[in-house]
Amino acid sequence: MTPPEAADVDVAIVGYGPVGEVLANLLGAAGLSVAVFEREAGVYHAPRAGHIDGEVMRIVQTLGLAVEVEAITVPWKGMRFVNAAGDMLVERPGPTAPGPQGWLDDLYFHQPDLEQCLRRGVERFSNVAVYLRHDVFAIDESPQSVTLRVEDLANGELREVQARYVVGCDGARSLVRRLIGTRQYDFGLHQPWLVLDLIRTRPVALPEYTTQFCDPARPMTYIHPRGDRLRWEIMVMPGDDQARMTRPEVFWPLVSRWVGPQDAQLERAVIYTFHSLVAETWRRGRLIIAGDAAHQMPPFLGQGLCAGARDAFNLGWKLARVVRGDSPPSLLDTYGPERKAHVGAVIELAVRLGAVIQTTDREVAARRDRSFATEGPEQVPQVRTLPIGAGIHDGPVPAGTLFPQPHLVDGRLLDDAVGYRFAVIGEQSLLDRAGADVRDAWRRLDATVISAEGAEIQAWLARLDAQAVIIRPDRFVAGTAKTVSDLGALALRLAQAVGCPA
């Protein structure tokens, strides 16, 4: 491996929302030197994202923040889709027990609370410096490093910072994405909605579950995130004056059948346009994008923040290996294709689900209602079954799909035993027969080796029709094996694919 190039920091992160916060935690724990630049002075006070799933809880578990994050969440109570007549079209019950990821599959939270947890996590690492009220206004590239031109917005002072890599977690208007020069693939959904966040000031009988009102006259969504917080998302219809939609005399009548100004105070009323976009190129040289900078999706599956956290989890281990010299820079070429395919499939599901909600043609809505009446309620699609795109995985499905998190015989969850590393999991008799070259491949992958003992992990291997499995640091299956020969060949191929030096 060539020695690291000279730079002030290994990685500069532009943008300090949830995605930048997750990535800063991962890179900080990996020992990389990191500088984070954020225009704002602190966590944005208003609620925005409000849902995470069991996969994201595995990510914060890896960050060592699961206890703190779980404390600020509440279980999702389920979802109902109803038509204009009040008939239920779709129902998905809320989780009552941990799912395959070892956590409840759906949780609600208040975004400022989540971000405070993540930022406190970053404070553990002296190798991560966070610069609030600092604006990155220009980026210059060279073969050896990237120079960021930064303004301290508190005093107007300008400075330059050199980084080996820059990750743009800088949102939908991303500077880093513009510098990469990528086009965005458009899935075709661009619909304005009024988002109304309220805080209940006196008892009002409202359901705990989320309700999608599939009324062609005015599609709406009701959400009860937690405590006294309430949210309505109200579709902007043709003829609506968007400039007036956020005024009390307009929005209170829209929700008057449930709540009024005597029951709740306004926290926020804002028009959002729900987009469905994914960047075609996620990396060019030393510039990389993640989160909303790389994709935007409608909120119908509650996967916007989840997708960004997955970006960081996919990218973090690859950046760490490249910066440390354990893998060549070409490993980073796998990040975009893997994540783009996955998030594109999630966006397609969200757009498809949104079509059920957003139908405004009464004849189309009537056909939809009849279809549900004859075929039964359709369940909301599951994201955890979707595979990542081509990259560091070997063979057909289940390779490239998310591996679950069973308990081990000592009671620990799998990820607590593995860490943010590769893992080789298999029957002990098979592991014992691995030759020196195979064990060397495990070492080069920096893999934790775990004996497949206990009913839970045995059951998952049986479902995969395998005697052993290699999983990646981001918990996706790298490949499966039935024999010691298969396992050895798999390990050697993966070591070569990751670019591990012999």
Predicted local confidence at residue 4, as pLDDT: 38
Contact 351, 276 (CB under 8 A): yes
345, 368, 390 - which closes a domain: 345
**Is residue 408 in some structural domain?**
no
**Is residue 396 in some structural domain?**
no
**Is residue 123 in some structural domain?**
yes
Q: How far apart, in whole angstroms, are the C-alpha atoms of residue 126 and residue 124?
A: 7
Phi-psi region of 372 (alpha: psi -120 to 50; beta: other; left: phi over 0): alpha
Say yes or no: 141 and 19 in one domain: yes
Say yes or no: 38 and 152 in one domain: yes
Say yes or no: 464 and 320 in one domain: no
Contact 47, 201 (CB under 8 A): no
Task: Return the number of other C-beta atoms located less than 10 Å from residue 128's C-beta.
Answer: 22
**Is residue 363 in some structural domain?**
no
Structure tokens at 410: 């000592």
**Is residue 353 in some structural domain?**
no
Residue 429's domain spans which residues? 414-498
| Of the candidates 321, 388, 338, 402, the residue with the CA atom closest to the CA atom of residue 55 | 402
What CATH number did the domain enclosing 294 receive?
3.50.50.60
223, 248, 274 - which closes a domain: 274
What CATH number did the domain enclosing 428 receive?
3.40.30.120
Say yes or no: 136 and 208 in one domain: no
**Is residue 203 in some structural domain?**
yes
> Position of tokens 């499905």?
397
Contact 357, 214 (CB under 8 A): yes
Say yes or no: 268 and 198 in one domain: yes
Say yes or no: 138 and 68 in one domain: yes
Predicted local confidence at residue 452, as pLDDT: 93
| pTM listed for this prediction | 0.95
Predicted local confidence at residue 1, as pLDDT: 28
Phi-psi region of 395 (alpha: psi -120 to 50; beta: other; left: phi over 0): left
CA torsion 310-312-317-318 (nearest 10°) is 100
Contact 427, 467 (CB under 8 A): yes
**Is residue 365 in some structural domain?**
no
**Is residue 375 in some structural domain?**
no
DSSP for residue 343: H
Q: How far apart, in whole angstroms, are the C-alpha atoms of residue 48 and residue 272?
A: 11
Task: Return the number of other C-beta atoms located less than 10 Å from residue 298's C-beta.
Answer: 24
How many domains does one find in the chain?
A: 3
Say yes or no: 180 and 197 in one domain: no
Contact 193, 274 (CB under 8 A): yes
Say yes or no: 29 and 53 in one domain: yes
Say yes or no: 267 and 281 in one domain: no
Predicted local confidence at residue 209, as pLDDT: 92
Say yes or no: 235 and 322 in one domain: no
Residue 273 has φ and ψ, to the nearest 5°, of: -100, 120
| Of the candidates 7, 42, 20, the residue with the CA atom closest to the CA atom of residue 286 | 7
Say yes or no: 172 and 265 in one domain: no
Say yes or no: 41 and 116 in one domain: yes
Predicted local confidence at residue 371, as pLDDT: 81
pLDDT in tens, the chain (502 residues): 233 345 799 999 999 999 999 999 999 999 999 999 999 999 998 888 999 999 999 999 999 999 999 999 999 999 998 999 888 887 888 899 999 999 999 999 999 999 999 999 999 999 999 999 999 999 999 989 999 999 999 999 999 999 999 999 999 999 999 999 999 999 998 999 999 999 999 999 899 999 999 999 999 999 999 899 999 999 999 999 999 999 999 999 999 999 999 999 999 999 999 999 999 999 999 999 999 999 999 999 999 999 999 999 999 999 999 999 999 999 999 999 999 999 999 999 999 888 888 999 999 999 888 887 777 655 455 787 899 999 999 999 999 999 999 999 999 999 999 999 999 999 999 999 999 999 999 999 999 999 999 899 999 999 999 999 999 999 999 999 999 999 999 999 999 999 987 7
Predicted local confidence at residue 128, as pLDDT: 98
345, 362, 395 - which closes a domain: 345
Contacts of 438 (CB under 8 A, 6+ apart): 487, 488, 491, 492
